[in-house]
């Protein structure tokens, strides 16, 4: 579905991404792991069209998209839920949601249906449609940001640190929701502070260091990799090989396919 080759991108004179290759297939969760400043958000911004690549190709459904506008990429089925949520606090929850459909305009009735469908797993969002988004807690704003991303009916959803700053209970909730979205056949590119948890629900992963992909593979393999454990999985060290991934997923109450 998404294929990236030889991608280079950056800001002004600064190069950030170098020769990046990455793929996301339909119905797959792909975790993007990397330290602060590794280029994870930059990669997402390049895929969604906020940054123009300097080199390389981005293809979606086999077609080049790297020269298309962001709006056109949204139309094609790519949604980006950016780092820091970027909710408009003075707008109502419903207005924030409608903005998510700006590239794929809907008539009023279809818009109402879309909002109801998108928010079904997030009843809290539905209950507060007419309130200013500023009234929502951090966790609720993150749910709103995910709903807004879903408003364009994407087939690829990119989530940049969706659980950042949330209480542990809500973090689990976010991971559960992400796993549920895959069950609806959405492809997901996930950047998460918590590399272990994200690999626990992911199918595959990529490790970015200094803007380069230094490792990639099945999530279970990355999770069992002692070098990665030391660098990215924090205190607690490596995860037991074997059922480590299942155990983590159980803790997150996420159901993994066998
Ligand atoms: N708007 C910008 N202008 C210039 N440089 C930037 C800009 N945004 C990011 N950078 C630089 O690009 C590099 C990669 O940043 P990026 O935000 O992609 O990293 P990241 O992996 O998402 O990090 P984090 O985990 O902190 O979110 C960093 O060196 C950063 O300082
Ligand atoms: Mg980032």
Please answer whether residues 16 and 39 qualify as being in contact, where contact means their C-beta atoms are separated by less than 8 angstroms: yes
C-alpha to C-alpha distance for 20 and 67, rounded to whole angstroms = 17
Q: Give the number of other CB atoms < 10 A from CB of residue 213.
A: 21
CA of 11 to the centre of ligand 1 (A): 9
| Of 214, 121, 133, the residue nearest 174 (C-alpha) | 121
DSSP helix/strand/coil, 187: strand
Please work out whether the CB of residue 98 comes within 6 Å of at least one atom of ligand 1: no
Domain boundaries, given as residue ranges, for the chain: 2-82+151-251
User: pLDDT 10s digit of each residue in the chain, 258 long?
Assistant: 999 999 999 998 889 999 999 999 999 999 999 999 999 999 999 999 999 999 999 999 999 999 999 999 999 999 999 988 889 999 999 999 999 998 888 899 999 999 999 998 888 899 999 999 999 998 899 999 999 999 999 999 999 999 888 888 888 888 988 998 888 889 999 999 889 989 999 999 999 999 999 999 999 999 999 999 888 887 443 444 445 666 667 666 666 654
Alpha carbons 57 and 214: distance in angstroms, whole number:
19
Angle between helix 138-150 and helix 168-183 axes, rounded to 10 deg: 10
Ligand 1 atom 11: the closest Cα is on which residue?
37
Q: What is the pLDDT of residue 20?
A: 98
Q: Is 46 in the pocket of ligand 1 (CB under 6 A)?
A: no
Is the CB of 11 inside a 6 Å radius of any atom of ligand 1?
yes
CB of 41 closer than 6 angstroms to any ligand 1 atom? yes
Number of the ligand closest to the Cα of 193: 1
CATH 3.40.50.300 given to domain 2-82+151-251: yes
């Amino acid at each position: 579905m998404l294929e990236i080759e030889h991608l280079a991108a950056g800001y002004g004179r600064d190069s950030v991404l170098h020769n990046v290759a990455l793929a996301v297939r339909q119905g797959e969760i792909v975790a993007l792991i990397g330290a602060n400043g590794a280029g994870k958000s930059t990669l997402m911004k390049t895929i969604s069209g906020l940054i123009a690549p300097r080199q390389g190709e981005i293809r979606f459904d086999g077609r080049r998209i790297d020269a298309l506008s962001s709006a056109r990429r949204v139309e094609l089925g790519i949604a980006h839920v950016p780092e820091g949520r970027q909710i408009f606090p003075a707008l109502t929850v419903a207005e924030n949601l409608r903005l998510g459909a700006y590239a794929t305009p809907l008539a009023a009735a279809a818009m109402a249906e879309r909002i109801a469908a998108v928010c079904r797993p997030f009843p809290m969002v539905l209950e507060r449609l007419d309130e200013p988004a500023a009234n929502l807690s951090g966790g609720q704003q993150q749910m709103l940001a995910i709903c807004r991303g879903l408003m364009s009916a994407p087939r690829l959803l990119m989530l940049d640190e969706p659980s950042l700053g949330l209480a542990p209970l809500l973090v689990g909730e976010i991971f559960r929701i992400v796993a549920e979205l895959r069950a609806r056949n959405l492809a997901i590119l996930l950047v998460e502070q918590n590399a272990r948890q994200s690999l626990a629900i992911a199918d595959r992963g990529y490790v970015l260091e200094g803007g380069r992909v230094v490792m990639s593979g099945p999530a279970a393999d990355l999770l069992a990799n002692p070098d990665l454990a030391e660098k990215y999985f924090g205190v607690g060290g490596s995860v037991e090989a074997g059922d480590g991934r299942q155990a983590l997923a159980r803790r997150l109450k996420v159901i993994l396919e066998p």
